Amino acid sequence: MALSAERIGSESAAQVKAGTQLTGRKFIVTGAGRGIGCAVADAFLAEGAMVTKMDIRFSSDVQSETDSSSSVLCDISSRAGVESAFAEAVDRMAGLDGLVNVAGIMGRLAAEAIDDDSWNAMMDVNVRGTFLTNQAAFRYLKDRGGRIVNFGSDAGLIPSPTSAHYSASKGAVIAWTRSIAHEWGMYGITVNCVLPAIWTPMYEEQRSRLNPAELEAHDLRMATTIPIGGRLGDPIRDLAPVLIFLVSEASHFVTGQLMSVSGGLGMTR
């Protein structure tokens, strides 16, 4: 039986346990208004980090601020918006140790039906947004080193029927990540890319648009293609520990890597 987005969120929140792996470290997490970004930000906070959550919009409960957590509105497709938001975040936290760029969009259209607006929107958020946020983070990390984690997708490596524009955008994110990992390694900056297959509110919305027969077929396909569990993973239990590792000192010698966190749905080397 499918879990609702609300139930998934409450189960994930209950799994967040206090730790010390990121004590004193300062991070920006984009796309933190809901879903994976929000879960990751909360996991970092539970490990002792300071976090600035960024998104184009927030619900009132996410915008609550503490000494360790704050939120800043940001359209990652706008250079002026990104530079202003990052300056505000770094000023609030008195520094920056890393960026996790979760923010992104997806969509489904037959390749021949993709119009200019759909293509441009996908590239503006997923590709330009990665480019702009990474450049902004670099300016604050180049003198002290740090961590950047981008979000790709297995769709960027394998055929993705009915979402070729999404696939192309994530392929670009993967190529960009590998390239800047080489360029920025001399500054002590690691840059890696996760390819997650995680249950999110966005995925829940996609499921809601399927009729019963389509949903049954979809769940059967997932059950036969994801070796572990037969369904998408949980953001806190399955993804957050990987991201905590990638932004911690434990990953100081790991860069330019694609990490598929997908229960075996996608495999990289």
Q: How many CB atoms lie within 10 A of CB 106?
A: 19
Token duo for residue 267: 């495999």
Tell me the CA distances in angstroms from 138 to 26, 53, 145, 250, one per residue in order.
14, 18, 9, 20
Q: Is 105 helix (H, G, I), strand (E, B) or coil?
A: coil
Does the annotation count 203 as an active-site position? no
H or E, element range at 97: none
Burial class (CB in 10 A: 0-12, 13-18, 19+), 57: exposed
Pairing of strands 98-101, 146-151: parallel
d(CA 84, CA 63) in angstroms, rounded, equals 18
CB within 8 A of 185, min separation 6: which ones? 255, 256
Token duo for residue 52: 């600035």
CB within 8 A of 107, min separation 6: which ones? 118, 121, 122, 163, 165, 166
The answer to whether 127 and 170 have CB atoms below 8 angstroms apart is no
Residues known to be catalytic:
166
